[in-house]
A = this chain, B = another copy of it.
Amino acid sequence: MTAPVLILVESQLAENIGSAARAMANCGLTELRLVRPDVEWPSERAAAVSSGALPLIDVRIFDTTAAALADLNYVLATTARARDMVKPVLTPRAGATEIRRRDALGQKCGLLFGPERTGLFNEDLTLADALLTVPLNPAFTSLNLAQAVLLIGYEWWTQGLDTPPVQARYGDSQPATKAELINLFEQMEKKLDSAGFFAASHMRPTMVQNIRNTLQRAEMTEQEVRTFHGIVTALVKE
């Protein structure tokens, strides 16, 4: 799996290049191409802002967008707003899927970003295969370069993961078995009987059911079951 190349056209602030590099490193992107950067390069300011990311990134400078894209097969151009261009517009998620699909076919892909103030020039957009727009709150769309890189990179990165959506963590213990849990229920109910907790005996089955359901939902570990045995014992009046 090869990460897409990031191409920044006429970046105006070293700080933005540094924070874009940081977002790249967060998301496993390693190739950065700067077209006519409007900042001195290399830049100490960019390095400082990158929080150690810049040394991990391969940075190259180009005179033209065409040269920066020359070896690529598929390029997505990011735009903040609709442009009068006949070109498909992809969400970051769909774009990441398309890049991964093409990478699997051996195609080299790129993500093209324009100058902070103006966005990409039309002649650069024309060189892209599709447009990519982050669908954020239309009432507040101000998104800086690094944030756009982060969101698009995040979509690319997470599509390569097999992180389970929900992971259970049990610390040093194991989830309790049903036998351990039933034993806790029975011990507890026995002590509650002795303590006269179930005063209205016809309500006992419902109350037992509710207490068991409550503790069942807690999905206790073996250790936690032992702790609750201790709690019950401690509370029993001698």
Contacts and interface: CB of A to CB of B under 8 A. Distances in A.
Contact of A90 (B22, B26, B142, B165): B165
Interface stretch (A62-70, A149-157, A185-193, A194-202): A149-157
Interface string A73-94: 0000000001011111111011
Interface residues of A, number: 53
Contacts of A22: 142
A25 interface: yes
Pairs A-B, 9 closest by C-beta atoms: A94-B165, A25-B140, A89-B167, A28-B137, A135-B163, A26-B136, A51-B142, A91-B165, A84-B171
B165 A136 contact: no
A183 interface: no
A91 B163 contact: yes
A147 interface: yes
Nearest to A28: B137
B140 A158 contact: no
